[in-house]
Structure 1
Amino acid sequence: MSSIDIVVPNLPESVADATVAVWHKKSGDTVKQDDILLEIETDKIMLEIPAPNTGILESISEQEGSTVVSGQILGRLNIDHIVSQKDTKKIFQDQKSITSVASQEHILTRDNKNHNILTPSIRKLMTEHNLQLTNIQGSGIKGRLTRQDIESHIHSEKKLHYTNQQNNENVAHHHIQNTKNDRKETRIVMNRLRKKISERLLAVTKTTAMLTTFNEVNMQPIIKLRKKYGELFEKRYGITLGIMSFYVKAVLEGLRHFPEINASIDGEEIVYYHYFDISIAVSTVRGLITPVLRDIDTLSMSDIEKNIKSLAEKGRDGKLTIEELSGGNFTITNGGVFGSLMSTPIINPPQSAILGMHAIKDRPIAQDGQIVILPMMYLALSYDHRLIDGKDSVRFLVYIKELLEDPTRLFLEI
């Protein structure tokens, strides 16, 4: 009998090891090529390990909770071509599923007077994912199913599966203790991401001379610009004009004018970056992650908005790759989406600075000798004082403020 090893994929240099989070198959199960066998958890993301071939899962070498490294054997897959009884049953089930879909198609065609005829691509998609027509709402003419309906349904199912999986993992680690007074405590083992976040935050306080400087920005010019051109922008580019793209552009100009902020300390050396990769903080069910927008100097406003949306969706669905989470020269975090009025963000090492955005609030402001009500936002810049002098940090933040209050300068790059 011929077998092949199921191994841990090559992990980046920044990731030393991983933990076997959950096996989706058990020994003796028949699997198809690219079926997800298990998931392993690094301190950054969850990685899915697909079946390298069609066969039977012969054995599992590393159980859930085991720590593994690159290239380590996780199990073995029997790829012998002899069809076992289990294979025969699976083939029969697949054929039955195809027959069921064909039957449903016939019923829909008959009942809806040919308005719901399934195209070959939709029929193939439904067969591959074992979908039932009765579970999907059509959005086409007279309720006709479209490819977008199928793909949206698949995406929703995957998102629900991921959320349930995370909940199940947490429940599996719950340990409830009862006292004689019937008072309860719940203990949950930290996942690797939460452990890593804890270690990194603690390391920042011990290894950097972190300070924070504050300022505030009048958001009215950007609000007016979005109100005036937002609808046209969305029609043209198919994406909403948010405020993050303005901040990314402002940070880009700031890093160009203050190269010591686009730098980091490596031992006894200072590394100056001549490219502009910005980390964007995204909150997920597993914790805070910082996917990276790369080469922002080459991106338009619409490109920035699309990339941020894509990274945020991938983060929530657990689909970010290690490459998308690696690197970054500077971080932007927006606590304002949760209602934060002011905070002191912690540096994302080995970076030297992080910009914190906060909630936009109407406040009375003195302007040209008059008291006016304006939509204001507090900004916070935390920086490593070992590398960045106080005057440079203040000038950088003031420059960001000036650009945002006169956004025309962003497009003129002045």
Structure 2
Amino acid sequence: MGDRREMIHRVVLPKFDANITEATIGEWHRSEGDAVHPGDVLVDIITDKANFELTAEAGGILRKIAAAEKSQVPLGYVVALVGDAADDLPDVAAENEKLMQEYLASVTGRTVSAPTGDRTGPPKERVARQGRVRATPRARRLAREHHIDLADVREKTGVEVLTEKEVRQYIEENGS
């Protein structure tokens, strides 16, 4: 009996544009267990520049959705697996975690322990060591739309690289 893992097709977040490094998962048009055919729209992908439809390149059963709606993921992230019902599923969680770590390290310029891990040390002490505020493109856009200075968000949260989550939390807490 052969290795069935070769039959699984990984649906990967492709590179849409040279300046896009991450995207937000929009609405899923299919659910786990649904039959899909090549060309079927699987999910909406939202970037700072445009929205895209990610389509199935292979037919089969949508076996696993690996990226939830509204989650931000880097390019190359495996968002779903398509294959036959009998196919063994590869462990894409570890693969995606490694990719996320590499992406966050490239944004921060250093290795991080986890995307949403605990942050230690007094926030202002860590913030004082940095000049420019580092933030994801979505965080910058949200702050701009709400006329928020990202330095204020960084100072309040102590987070080294701001994401949309921290900016939204700041908006909720400060009524901006």
- Shorter-normalised TM range: 0.3 to 0.5
Instruction: Report the structure number with the largest CA radius of gyration.
Output: 1
User: Comparing both chains, which one has the higher relative contact order based on Cα–Cα distances under 8 Å and sequence gaps of 6 or more?
Assistant: 2
